Amino acid sequence: MNILSYLDSKNINYRLASGNMEAVFPCPACGRENKFYVNIETGAFKCFRASCDTQGGAKDLVKLLGDAGSEIEIEASEKPREIQDPEPISPETVDDYHQNLLEGYASFEKYFTEKRGYTIETVKKFKLGWGNRCILIPIYDEAGNCVNFKHKPDPTRPNPSKGMFSITGRGRMRLFNAQVLMAEQKPDEVIICEGEWDAMRLDREGYVAVSSTGGAGSFKPEWLPFFQGLKKIFVCQDNDVNGAGQNGTKKIAQMFYDQKITTFIVNLPNPQVGIEEKVDVTDFFGRLGRTKGDFDLLLQTAQPFQPPEKEEEKFRLADYLCELAIGAGVKIFLDQNDEVLLVFPEEPLAAYPLNEGKFRGWLSARYMEIQGTGFSGDTYKEVKDTFYAKAHHQGKILQLWNRVAMDNGVVYYDLGDGRRVVKIDKTGWEITHKTPVKFKRFTHQLIQEDPTKGDLKEVLNFVNIKNEKDKILYLTYLVAGLNPIIPRALLTLYGDQGSAKSSASRVTRCLLDPSNAGTHHPSRAGNLLSPPKDEADLANKALRHYCLYFDNLSYCPDWMSDSFARLVTGSSFSKLKLYTDMDEVTVNTMPLLAMNGISLIAEKPDLLDRLLILEMERIPEEARKTEREFWRNFSQTLPRILGGLFTILSKTLAIVEELNLGHLPRMADYATFATAAAIALDTPKEEFLQAFNQNITRQNQSAIESSPVAQVVLQFMEEREVWEGTSTELHKVLRQLAENSNLKVGDSSGFPKSPHWLWRKIQVVRPNLNSFGIDARRHEIKASSIIKLTKSSKSQEDTATVTDTAIPDSMADGNTGGDTPNQVTDIATNSKAEVATMAVVAVNSEYLERCSTCGGNDFWKRSDGSEVCATCHPPIL
């Protein structure tokens, strides 16, 4: 007998479910109703009560129902006679449930907006409802009649159910949103996704999407005619750890393929193994924070479905493609970071990462010329795997540079065509095909214009810099920007709207490192980058750009400030190796940085010390030009400006070898090279150093303005020469000043609430306070922390100076100028005038790193040549 006949003989009161393919009745083992399901064709059964989980086959069912040892044979039931579809659910009922939801929408708004990404318009369009303590999704047939409701148990309750269910007796699978395919005017494209929620989410983003109501792998062949006449069909099922979505994708695509209909496979990001079970469309836009533009890119790169190739054919084709590439002259290397690189015969001076799109395009073009067709993504992956193995087997390592290289004192500038560079040395510059270095090339980098003889100062016609000192600071920044082995200042342009900050940044980028990455603009080669989202995003950009230029920064969180400071002087990042899941490789980078914004957003002294700060004024209306006119004029002038830049760089390389600044500021290498560049530009050294000192003053002033603690310390010491007391005493009086001045108190950027944090805040700005004539020290007495503030004779100008004009030649090399053991003492005792002079010279004769004891930055040389802190070990005057 069959299953249904057997159940009838046992007088079991069952109901049919799941499209009349399963019988449901109380579980014989645990007695729980509505949890015991039996497949009427196979006899397989399962109790879905977690504490029971009784399951088995037809023979087990007989035993479970008390017929163990009997001769009863269970056969597959014939499919029950076709049951007519139930009457459609009336539109009035749908409207009533929908109105219920709208009236209580406030309770569910957070769920719809945050969890699902819907607006109220989405809820209204699909007439979502509320009933039986569930959110209801109306399910329509091909004629547009509502035939079922998918139920989502109240998701706002604690520990809500993850599942969904349909009305008993109406569980036949349907194609959700099928009515869009029945319209007179069919859409051009449709996406077959997995689940009603994802279909509605895609609709919210402006796509046409349908889905089976039965989940992964439940797509029915009888639905295929609905898709006739569409221009493009995408399949985008869930990316499941267990592979269910991927298998469903293949099943759907194969159905269409068998009917000679092409589908395109959309691959969602992989879930994190051990953390996520899947990534679906809703996750893509919600939890992963991706945008419509990101999804558009998935659609644009979706590949047409191809059935799996036979293993022999796939292997032969991949092997043939490898031979084709190597035979054409493609060379395989590893770089210093263990990344696989390819050098193409057309561009012998450039190396492209294997994982970039360059190789596939190159190989596809060659194969198309020979065979007149393309190859599958799986075949290309085998080619990449083979090249990866060859690179590590050969072990050839290339030292690569990005856009600018330096070898034995000679600068090589990559023009970007893969065949020519500009060679710049002390004797001049030339365009050449010969170079001892190779460059790493990224697809965003553009070919540079060929330089011609010209004047670098012509660039000032295209940047809105009015101050003469700022002009020389900007020009020397350009020259130093082409020295890739020293830390360079971070160019910071700020000013009102309409002051052409972004234009100046684009001009600089066009000149040094033309690129189409970032926000597109008429400059074509001067695109700027949007602010980094996080440290990983910043690291990725830093590894791919010589000029790391950010546009319109309005906020600089601590992580960004610290990362920028590290990048200026060179930073290391760890990233996963290609083709591995666990191995990491450390990569180093020191890009040329710039940022612009309406205000100066840097606040932390460590970053401020590395900035080149240029304030820009709003351009008067009568002086404005159209973008088209501006960039046309600039493009015509660019070759001359570039040639002028290389000429000045050549002169700078000759000057810098003989230049000695004496005592040095922070960013000493940059200061030295920029000074040499100023001299090459016919600017007197003293004039440039005054401009450089002005920038240091801006740094110190900005640090003070960004620190409530520094501001109140300066205010507190206005009428005092010295103050000494405990941290608690100083905190009390300074806090009162902060509150009286309406300064922030309590958060990370404000005045500290606790005395415990006061000294830490003072330590951060000690060098800046010192530049304003306030010396701060701390020492411990028993259980107390004593802070001493002293007004010194040093002024802002004294501490900022880096000129060596006051240092006697006899002291330039560390010689004290005589045989007397303590030359400083002997000279200092001659007269009061000499005491003051020598005090400044002795204290400021070396500007080095901070003292490990007091944090000060003033050092002087003893007669034995040793350098000591002037604060902890002052010279005898």
Least confident of 234-248, 299-313, 354-368: 299-313
Residues β-bridged to residue 790:
722, 775
Higher pLDDT, 392 or 576: 392
Average pLDDT over residues 47-51: 70
Residue 827 has pLDDT above 60, yes or no: no
- What is the dihedral sign for C-alpha 164, 168, 173, 176? negative
3-class DSSP assignment, residue 856:
coil
Average pLDDT over residues 78-103: 79
Q: Virtual CA dihedral for 745, 748, 753, 755, nearest 10 degrees? A: -130
The predicted pLDDT at position 176 comes to 94
Least confident of 132-146, 272-286, 289-303: 272-286
Segment 580-635, tens digit of pLDDT: 433 455 667 899 999 998 888 887 888 888 999 898 899 988 888 999 999 999 99
The predicted pLDDT at position 860 comes to 54
Question: Count of CB atoms within 10 A of residue 463's CB?
Answer: 21
Phi/psi of residue 748, nearest 5 degrees: -65, -25
3-class DSSP assignment, residue 602:
coil
346: Cβ contacts below 8 Å, ≥ 6 apart: 418, 419
The predicted pLDDT at position 577 comes to 45
User: What's the burial of 581, exposed, middle or buried (CB within 10 Å: 0-12/13-18/19+)?
Assistant: exposed
**For the chain, how are helix, strand and coil distributed in percent, rounded to 5?**
40, 20, 40
Measured in whole angstroms, the distance separating CA 523 from the mean position of its chain's CA atoms is 24
Q: Hey, what are 816's tokens? A: 């004290």
Residue 435 has pLDDT above 80, yes or no: yes
- Rg of the chain (C-alpha set): 37
Question: Edge-to-edge strands of the sheet including 45-47?
Answer: 15-17, 22-25, 36-39, 45-47, 55-56
Residue 350 has pLDDT above 60, yes or no: yes
> Any idea what the Cα angle at residue 26 is, between residues 20 and 28, rounded to 5°?
120
467: Cβ contacts below 8 Å, ≥ 6 apart: none
DSSP 506-559: HHHHHHH--B--SB--TTSSB-BBPPPSSHHHHHHHHHH-SEEEE-------HH
Average pLDDT over residues 490-506: 91
The predicted pLDDT at position 811 comes to 29
Segment 125-162, tens digit of pLDDT: 999 999 988 999 999 988 889 999 999 999 988 877 77
Q: Which amino acid is at 657?
A: E
Residue tagged 């799996």 (tokens) = 308
Spatial separation of the C-alpha atoms in residues 669 and 664, rounded to whole Å: 9
Residue 342 has pLDDT above 60, yes or no: yes
Segment 375-386, tens digit of pLDDT: 888 899 999 999
User: What ranges in 301-406 are assigned the alpha helix state H?
Assistant: 311-327, 358-371, 377-394
Measured in whole angstroms, the distance separating CA 839 from the mean position of its chain's CA atoms is 50
The predicted pLDDT at position 622 comes to 87
Least confident of 272-281, 460-469, 605-614: 272-281
Segment 529-558, tens digit of pLDDT: 988 888 888 888 888 899 999 998 888 888
Average pLDDT over residues 492-521: 89
Segment 368-377, tens digit of pLDDT: 888 788 888 8
Least confident of 56-70, 142-156, 292-306, 797-811: 797-811
* Helix (H), strand (E) at residue 104: none
